[in-house]
Chains A and B, each alone.
Chain A
Amino acid sequence: MTDAVARPAAAIPNPPVKSMGAWVLDVLIWGGVAALLVYSFGPVELNHATRLFDPSESTRNFARELLRPDLTDWRLFVSKMWETIQIALWGTFLAVFAAIPMGLAAARNIAPVWVVTPVRWVMNLLRSIPDLVIGLLFVVAVGLGPLPGVLAIALNTAGVLAKLFSEAVESIDKGPVEGVRATGATKLHEIVWGVIPQVAPLWTSFALYRFESNSRSATVLGLIGAGGIGQVLFDRMNAFDFRDVSAIVIIVVVAVTLIDMLSQAMRKRLL
């Protein structure tokens, strides 16, 4: 009570000052980034960017054709788009299937370290290989068509989802799990009744989100011969059928937007 009175008004401390070391660090980091950008300017041929505004005859022709989409083949395009969505659907489903045990085994609050560490290595490996590369390998292994697309998406997505799933598990409230444990339940019971109900909405949301982005990936995968609309797109592009290319792009944009909207609406209801 007498604190303020008894103690003579001490000098008000100065506002904190950034130390010399922090300044040097800032300069090093931002200077380094700037130097790297300047150094990389030549190798990526950014100096040729003016070509964009000085189009050749072929570019002009390409642009003209793109503005006149040819929808006569729309039945084929739509059925191929549907195939792409099916690739994404099965790829995501298989990924979820694999990601559930991996996600639980990679969560530090559920599994012992000697399980967590190797499972995380596998997850990182799966995630670090782009699905295009995995797709190429599977095209060699099982031939052209949708199957290599499904497998490529499944493997890559399994790694991503397992990581997201395990992070969700690590952030659960341990109270309910202890509540289940205290009834004399086994470890598996604890997971099914104490952990899964807590993470279910988040897991579903992650899976839906990956389905959205997988329907985009599946389109690109077609370019390497892994089935679906992408394969047709690539063929028409090589045949200089730019009016067909334009039609395909429109169908892809419409389909992917619809899937986005649908999945977003579903995720909103979950959380």
Chain B
Amino acid sequence: MRRAPATVDSLSMTASAAAVASVRDVSKTFGARKALNGVSVEVGAGEMVALIGPSGSGKSTLLRSITGLQSIDGGKGVIEVFGEVVQKNGRTTGQCRSARQKLGMIFQQFNLVGRLSLFSNVMLGALGRIPGWQGLLGVWPSADKQKAMAALHRVGVADYAAQRANTLSGGQQQRGAIARALVQGAKAILADEPVASLDPVSARKVMELLVELNKRDGLGVIVTLHQVDYAIRYCDRVIALKAGKIVYDGPSTGLDTKQLIDIYGPEFEDAFWEAKA
């Protein structure tokens, strides 16, 4: 299932249609700062990948670029999702929306619509699939309503379906966001610091859910994490970014102290949340 760690010759690698995301020579500049500097990486279907690196290393930018929420620099950089080009020449393409439907996005701040009920928020996952007018008026097909309740039940927050999202705790909201990705019928999940705003207990639950979706449902998962111990514990493959470049790409078991110092500097232990693994 796992692919060989990407190296320089990944540039010549042809993207298989099954790849969740194929990023080739992508750069992104904010003002004078290069958030991504010629990044090439490929994530295959069914992989569970952690993106780590100090803050400002470009891991969130990479993730947001894959869903087209962030445009990349013009030039030769190309991003493909499930074989469809989503970004090219610094612009999102027309296929961007159909690619987004296949990717469930989880955010650090959950990004649920606070004044809508948890149920409505989860129903929004169907927007990309159902006819436009139905989505506009909120006329959800009853099969999708069943699907939403099943998803809420699966992540363990079905009891709160009728409550406004902003009345729920962070952990409950994040699980709601995962339910939204399930209703979406996503084939892969991109999670941008999904546990950074949560307490450790909720954080573990959310990570375990992601692992379950990966192992049981075969969804590809790419997750950015501040916490190296979480990356090592929950993910098989780790990609480390530093100043917009990939400095490590390989099995999470291959990360040793020398490499961590390389990535985070001598205070690398600060990047562990709980005890050092």
Shortest Cβ distance from B100 into chain A, in angstroms? 4
- B-binding residues in A (CB < 8 A): 175-176, 178-186, 188-189, 192-194, 197-198, 200-201
Is there a chain A Cβ closer than 8 Å to B177's Cβ?
yes
A186–B114 alpha-carbon span in the complex (Å): 20
B113 and A184 within 8 A (CB):
no
**Which residues of the partner chain A approach B67 to less than 8 Å between Cβ atoms?**
182
Give the segment of B21-29, B103-111, B217-225, B237-245 that binds chain A: B103-111
A185–B134 alpha-carbon span in the complex (Å): 12
**Which residues of the partner chain A approach B107 to less than 8 Å between Cβ atoms?**
175, 178-179
Interface centre among B98, B102, B136 (most CB of A within 10 A): B136
B125 and A183 within 8 A (CB):
yes
A197 and B132 within 8 A (CB):
no
**Which residues of the partner chain B approach A180 to less than 8 Å between Cβ atoms?**
113, 124, 127
Q: Which of B109, B132, B184 contacts A186 (CB 8 A)?
A: B132
Chain B 157-202 residues near chain A, CB threshold 8 A: 177, 180, 184
**Which residues of the partner chain A approach B124 to less than 8 Å between Cβ atoms?**
179-180, 183, 185, 193
* A191 to B, closest residue via Cβ: B136
Count of interface residues, chain B, beta-carbon cutoff 8 Å? 31
Chain A contact residues, majority secondary structure: helix
A181 and B100 within 8 A (CB):
yes
Contacts A179-B107, A180-B124 given; does A186 touch B97 at CB 8 Å: yes
A192 and B136 within 8 A (CB):
yes
Q: Which of A181, A185, A194 contacts B135 (CB 8 A)?
A: A185
B101 and A193 within 8 A (CB):
no
**Which residues of the partner chain A approach B103 to less than 8 Å between Cβ atoms?**
182
Is there a chain A Cβ closer than 8 Å to B205's Cβ?
no
A179–B127 alpha-carbon span in the complex (Å): 12
Is there a chain A Cβ closer than 8 Å to B112's Cβ?
yes
